[in-house]
Every structure is written in C-alpha cells, then in structure tokens.
Amino acid sequence: MERKAAVSALAALAQETRLGIFRLLVEAGPRGMPPGIIGEKLAVPPATLSFHLKALSHGGLTTARQEGRFIYYAVDFEHMAALMSFLTQNCCSGMPQECLAVMETALGQCCAPSPTPRKSTRTRS
C-alpha cells in the first residue's frame, strides 16, 4: 500500500460516525448490509449516512454492490488488511512477522475470504 492510500483510508476513519459505520460493517462481514439498516442501528439520517458511506468508499475501505433494488455496503477486507500491514510493516525491531502473525490470526478468525469474487461498484445511496 502506498502512503497516499494509507492516509486516505485513515482520514476516512478519523471521524466518529464513519468509524462507527466501519466497525458495524466489519461486524456484518463480507455480506455487508443495506444503508437503511446501517442508519437504523446507528441512528444516522439518510443524507448524513450517504455522505459518510461515500467518504469510506473514497478511502477504499468499503465496497457497494447492488442486488435487485437494494445496495449492500461491505468492508473491503483486503484493503483493510493492506492498511494494517502498512501500519505494522516496520514494527518489532525489523521482525514484522511477530506483529503480522497476530493480525493474520485475528483476521483469519473474523474475516474469512469471500467464496466468490464480488464486483466492486461505486454507487450512491
């Protein structure tokens, strides 16, 4: 991951509502959830939610996919893992495997790869 991409992702997370949305989507897993449910769970009005989802998408942290009439937002777990790796690549006195092994184990427990590749589309809600 390049430094600019990391800064963009971190900037997207540097706001309380967006961080809450991101954490909720992490909890939802690869399947994601529609904006209506996100808004209900976090008590965020639709226009505000749309703004924050767009910021997370521009930061590369979320994807959107359309299924029929519905749009589902999900975390881009590969991008999240790349950001975490970028943040820790020089840790542990030059032995990043010490830190990365812990992260990979944690990610493997919660974020199993999607069985089928999803087409990433940028949509507005």
Domains parsed from the chain with CATH numbers:
3-110 (1.10.10.10)
Residue pair 61/99 in contact by the 8 Å Cβ criterion? no
pLDDT at 87: 85
The yes-or-no verdict on residue 32 having pLDDT over 80 is: yes
Q: Is the pTM of this model over 0.85?
A: no
**CB-CB contact of 61 with 9 (8 Å):** yes
Q: Give the contacts of 12 (CB within 8 A, at least 6 positions apart).
A: 18, 22, 55, 56, 58, 59, 60, 61
| pLDDT-derived band at 102, boundaries 50, 70, 90 | low
pLDDT at 116 over 70: no
**Tens-digit pLDDT profile for residues 59-95:** 999 999 999 999 999 999 999 999 988 887 777 776 6
Average pLDDT value for the chain: 84
- The CA distance from 95 to 16, in Å, is 33
How large a percentage of the chain has pLDDT more than 90? 65
